[in-house]
A and B are shown apart, each in its own frame.
Chain A
Amino acid sequence: MMEEKLKKIMSVLFEIAESEISGQTKREDIERWDSLNHLNLVVEIESEFDITLSPEEIGDMNSLESILEILKK
C-alpha cells in the first residue's frame, strides 16, 4: 500500500511510468530526480504520510527502497 502510494508520487514528480520504478531504482537513474524535485518529493511524502522527515533522512532518500525503509521506522 505504502509502496504503491510512493510509486505514484514518484511517477508524477519524475514523469516516468510507475512500472519503471522498482525498489532498486536509484536517484542517479532518474533524470528528473534533481535537487529541486527532491524537495518536492519530500513535501509530497510528508503530506501523504503525515510525517516530518529529518535532514538526515532526506539526505538518505536515494531509492524507492531507502525511502520505504525510512517510512517503516
Chain B
Amino acid sequence: MKTYIFRNTTIENLFVGLKADYSGYGDIQSPNEEYKRIMWFYTIPFKVKTIDLANEINNYIQKLDLVLSRREIKRPMYCFTIQTYTPQLKWVNKDNSIDEAVFNFNQHLYYLASQDSSIKVIDIQDFYKEYKISEVFDWRFFYMSETTITPRFGKQFYQWFLKQEKAILQKRKKCLVLDLDNTMWGGVLGEDGIEGIQLGDSYPGNVFLDLQRSVVEASKNGIILAVCSKNNESDVLEAWEKHPFMQIGKDNISSYRINWTDKVTNITEIAEELNIGLDSFVFIDDNPIERERVKQFLPDVTVPEFPQNTFELISFFHKVYEDNFQVYSLTEEDKEKTNQYAENSKRKQFQQTFNDIEGYYRSLEMELTVHTNNTILIPRLSQMTQKTNQFNLTTRRYSEEDITDYMQNDFVLSLEVKDKFGSNGITVLSIIKKQDNKTAVIDSFLLSCRILGRDIEIAFVSYICNFLLEKGFETIKATYIPSDKNQKLTSEFLEKCGFDILEESESSNKNYELKIKEKKEIKEYYKFKVN
C-alpha cells in the first residue's frame, strides 16, 4: 500500500520504513490513483512575524478544503493536527493570532472527520507531549533542511505513527488474559491467604491496586478480561469476593481458568469459549517460564515482558494498552469541539479567497523574476544542477566554470519565485544552447521541489518559447534522460508542454522538438518580471 503525503516541511525522516511519496512543499495537486492512502501532515514553520505565520496557517484550511473537494475517489485520508511546537518570538506580536489559527485549523479537522468517515484525525499533540520544544525543534536542522521535528526523533516518531495507524485500522487486540499471583496482587494466595496478599494502601499493594483499577478501566473501554491462574478456584473466588481492595471479580471477568492445568491448554479453551481468535489475545504473567511456553506454543498470542520492579507496573500496563488496545475514535471532547466549531463557523464565515485550483494560484500572488545570464548567481545555479534530482529533465551536473561558459555563449535562465508568503529564492533553472541561428536546444531544465505544484514549470516553458521566438529562433529541441529519481515528475513533462516526440532511443531517452510560430499565452497570475 502506497501513501501520498501532503506536507509543507521536510518530514521524510519521520517516515523511514513507510512506502510513501511526498508532495512538494505546500503543493496541493491531486495525487494519482496508485496511492491507496493520503495523509495531510503540515507542521508550523518558524517565522519572525507571527502575523505572517498566522495568515499562513489560516491558509492551510482553505488548501485542505480544496484538496478534499477535488477528491475523485474516496481514499482514506489521515490528517495530522498542528501544534505551536515551534519557537515563537512572542515580543514581535503580542496578540494570540497563532493560537487562534491553530485552534481553528484543528477544529476544522475534527469537523471534517465528523462529517466524513474516510477522514481520520491524528493528534500530533499526543506525540509532542512526551517532549519539550527545545528537544523537538532544532534550529540547525530547521535552517539547513527545513525540518520542524528534529530528524533525531525519526524512529520514535515512526513508532508513534504506527500505533496511531494501528488504532485507525482497528488492528487492536480484544482480550487480556491475566495471571493473578504476583501479577494482579503481590504474594501467593495459596500460601499467604487472603489477609497475606499485597493489595491495598501501602507499597507494594498500592501499585497492584492501581493496576487492578487500570485493568477495570480497560474493560470499560471494551476489552474483554480473562483470568488464567494456577490456584485453587475456591480460594480465588473467595478472595475476589471478600478482599476489601479487590477490583476484579466475576462482574468484570468474562472467562477464567483457575486450576493446575497448563496455561497453553487453558488459554486455548478460553479462546474457544469466547469465540475470539488467539491473535486477539494479550497474556500478562510475571512468570517467565509461563510466558515462554505460551510464546512457544501459541505464537499468535501477544506476550509482553513483565517489569522487574513492582512500581513499574502502571507504566508497563499503560504501554501494553497503547501498543495493543488503543482505539481510534473521536472522543467526547473532540465531539464537543466539533459542536463548538459548527457554531463558530455559523457566526464567522472563513474568509474564503479561493475555491478552485486556479483561484488558489491567483490567491498566491506569484511574482516570477527572470534572470538571464546573471553572473552573480553562478554558485547557486551550479549548486542547483548538483543537487536537484526529482524535477530535472536531464540531470546534467555542472561546475561553476561550466555555468560561466554557458553564460558567455548561450542562455542561462533562472527564476526567482515570490508569493504572498515570501520569497522562495532562485528555484528554477534552464540552460538553453544555441545550435544555430534558428534552432535552440534545452540542455537542462530543473526546479526545486519547494515550488512544485503550481504549474510554474509549464508557464516557464511558455515563457522560454516566447523568449526564443523574440530572438528569432524557430525550433526548440529538448531531451529527457531518465534517472532513478526524475521519472515520476518529468517523464511526460514535455508532452504536457506541447512538444512532439522525435524518437525514443533504446536507453529510453526521449528526444523532442517544438516549432515556435506564435507567442504562447501565459495565465495572468504568473506575473513574469525581467531582472
The residues of A with any CB-CB pair to B shorter than 8 Å are 28, 31, 34-36, 39-40, 42-43, 46-47, 55, 58
Contact = CB atoms under 8 A, between A and B. Distances in A.
B140 A43 contact: no
Interface stretch (B74-82, B144-152, B469-477): B144-152
Interface residues of B, number: 18
A28 B154 CA distance: 25
A47 B152 contact: yes
Contacts of A42: 151
A35 B387 CA distance: 8
Contacts of A28: 397
Contact of A39 (B141, B387, B389): B141
A55 B151 contact: no
Given A55-B140, A55-B144, A40 B397 contact: no
Contacts of B152: 43, 46-47
Interface SS of A by simple majority: helix
Contacts of B143: 55
15 contacts: A34-B389, A34-B485, A35-B387, A39-B13, A39-B141, A39-B145, A39-B147, A39-B151, A40-B16, A40-B151, A40-B154, A42-B151, A46-B152, A47-B152, A55-B143
Interface SS of B by simple majority: helix
A40 B387 contact: no
Nearest to A54: B140
B13 to A, nearest CB: 6
Nearest to B386: A28
B156 to A, nearest CB: 12
A3 B123 CA distance: 42
Interface in B136-171: 140-141, 143-145, 147, 151-152, 154
B13 A36 contact: yes
A55 B387 CA distance: 17
A39 B144 CA distance: 9
A30 B145 CA distance: 20
Contacts of A46: 152
B521 interface: no
B234 to A, nearest CB: 56
Contacts of B151: 39-40, 42-43
Contacts of A35: 145, 387
A48 B141 CA distance: 18
A28 B398 CA distance: 12
A42 B144 CA distance: 12
B154 A58 contact: no
Contacts of A36: 10, 12-13
Q: 4 smallest A-B Cβ distances: which pairs?
A: A43-B151, A36-B12, A39-B151, A43-B152
A30 to B, nearest CB: 12
A31 B484 contact: yes
A58 B144 contact: yes
A42 B141 CA distance: 10
Nearest to A32: B484
A35 B122 CA distance: 28
B144 A40 contact: no
Interface in B338-397: 387, 389, 397
A42 B147 CA distance: 14
A42 B285 CA distance: 42
Contacts of A58: 144
A67 B448 CA distance: 27
A40 B389 contact: no
B260 to A, nearest CB: 50
